[in-house]
Structure 1
Amino acid sequence: MKQAFRLFWEATPGTHSVEDQIAVTRLTAHGVHQADLPGIPATGAKLTMTGTVIHRIENGRLAEKWSDKDVLGFLQQLGVIPDLR
């Protein structure tokens, strides 16, 4: 990545500014539903849930965070919502 930026900067001298810096995390959580969740008694079910988190960094500090997780798949694994596949 550094080489690509360096090549561009050397080929196009001028001012180059970083407007935003974003860090992305993709994750997978594995566990067992051993305790009650709000409105969902413990089931003992093995669970896997995926998610993505995006952080916008400004002046070296976290400025904003967005996240998304597979709540539908999570609730299907708990039997709260039927899996219609």
Structure 2
Amino acid sequence: MEATPGRHVIDDQIAQGDKVVTRLTATGRHERDLPGPLPATGAELRETAVAIHRVADGKIAEHWSNRDDLGLMQQLGVIQLPGT
């Protein structure tokens, strides 16, 4: 993503049958505006995620993912939880 260049690191990956599950960590710096608008903050960001892919005929046929968007919004200063 242009607004938050960085990298994805695969922490774990498991395959069984036609499914591949990947746990990953994405890191980057908030260098450009994000939709919303969320002006660039220069903040170092870290987000964890789990992605599941179903593979058919050697290609990804379906994809599901779950990301820690709440944690990302906290890092960007968009959301502040009570007591934090």
Structure-2-length-normalised TM-score? 0.71
- Please state whether the residue corresponding to 2:73 is helix, strand or coil: helix
**Structure 1 residue 31: Cα displacement:** 1.1
Q: Secondary structure at the match of 1:74?
A: helix
Per the normalisation by structure 1, the TM-score is 0.70
Once the two structures are aligned, what percentage of the paired residues are identical?
53
Structure 2: any 5+ residue segments left out of the alignment?
A: 1-16
Kindly indicate whether residue 24 of structure 2 is the aligned counterpart of residue 37 of structure 1: no
Number of equivalences: 66
**Structure 1 runs of 4+ with >3 Å offset:** none
Partner residue of 1:7?
none
Unmatched segments (≥5 aa) in structure 1: 1-19
Q: Which has the higher helix share?
A: 1
- Using the TM superposition, give the Cα deviation of residue 26 of structure 1 relative to its aligned residue in structure 2, in angstroms: 1.0
Greater per-residue strand proportion: 2
Alpha-carbon separation, structure 2, partners of 1:77 and 1:27: 18
Q: Quick check: which has more Rg, 1 or 2? A: 1
The CA RMSD over aligned residues, in Å, is 1.3
